Amino acid sequence: MKALIIGAPGQLGQDLCAVYSDVDLYQADLKGAPITLDITDEGSVRDCIVDSLRPDLVINTAAAHNVPRCEETPDIAYAVNATGARNLARACNAAGARLVHISTDYVYGHGHHEPLTEAVPPAPLSSYGASKVAGEYLIAAECPEHLIVRTAAIYGTAPCLAKGGMNFVSLMLHLADKQGWVKVVTDEVTTPTYTEPLARQIRLAAEKGEPGLYHMTCQGACSWYDFTKTIFELTNTEVDLKQATTADFPSPVKRPTYSVLENAHLQVQGINIMPPWRDALEAYLKASGRV
């Protein structure tokens, strides 16, 4: 099998490269990895996928996902997350490749209190979320052999390039060490998801799953406060952990207060292998040498 991973240097991209290390693997990124690819350039995308590589599988992790920046420059968000996704879908359809595209829980808005299945319609609150929804629809329209993967709150052992190299876990530990206290919200609930099991789940779904929309997160749910509390418990970190609400951190960006995803499509097909979020966190802490 020949696979192309776009966004290979990222957190999820690096774990996907490890999972696909036994196949004929090609790595691409905007800055070269070693293939340089700008997904907003339709001609370059077609040249790479249709005229050159002709892969069996394309996994796209590339995105404009700095949420505040997407609000400031929605044109860039749509160029990458919508038009770029369409460009990949058209090229994959022409090359006969299956496309796996990574989306987000930010496609949802307020008013939810129970885990969200793939049947719940999106209602994004931000330019980022809206651009990702647009990308989903364009992929579904242009490439029948697609898997759209919505995930949430990812973290991994590879540096998060969009956030100065830190993910949420490493940031909390850094702040605890630097200032001795951390203040975290209790009124945003999600499912933090470790990229290593997510990468394995993506491969299983890409190989065994039918085309369509998939939710892929770790199991269970927690507030950011509860997640942080567990981080400190598992690492035996002494810190003054303070409760807060979103009102304590005013922001022009609207985020969903409850975005817990249920892996219903995976479960129906009997291919859901995602672990509970606490088990995944413990595995990550061990892998990164924190415990």
Summarize pLDDT for 243-252 with one digit per residue, the tens.
Answer: 999 999 888 8
pLDDT score of 252: 82
Instruction: Classify residue 135 as exposed, middle or buried by CB count within 10 Å of its CB (0-12, 13-18, 19+).
Output: buried
pLDDT score of 196: 98
pLDDT score of 160: 80
Residues 6+ away with beta carbon under 8 Å from 12: 61, 102, 154, 156, 195, 198, 199
Residues with a catalytic annotation lie at 128
pLDDT score of 135: 98
Select 2-157+191-220+259-275's CATH number: 3.60.150.10, 3.40.50.720, 3.40.50.2300, 3.30.2020.30: 3.40.50.720
Instruction: Write down the pTM of the prediction.
Output: 0.96
Separation between Cα atoms, residue 157 and residue 167, nearest integer Å: 9
Low-confidence ranges of the chain (pLDDT < 50): none
**121-171 pLDDT, tens digit each:** 999 999 999 999 999 999 999 999 999 999 999 999 998 877 677 999 999
Separation between Cα atoms, residue 41 and residue 270, nearest integer Å: 38
pLDDT score of 290: 86
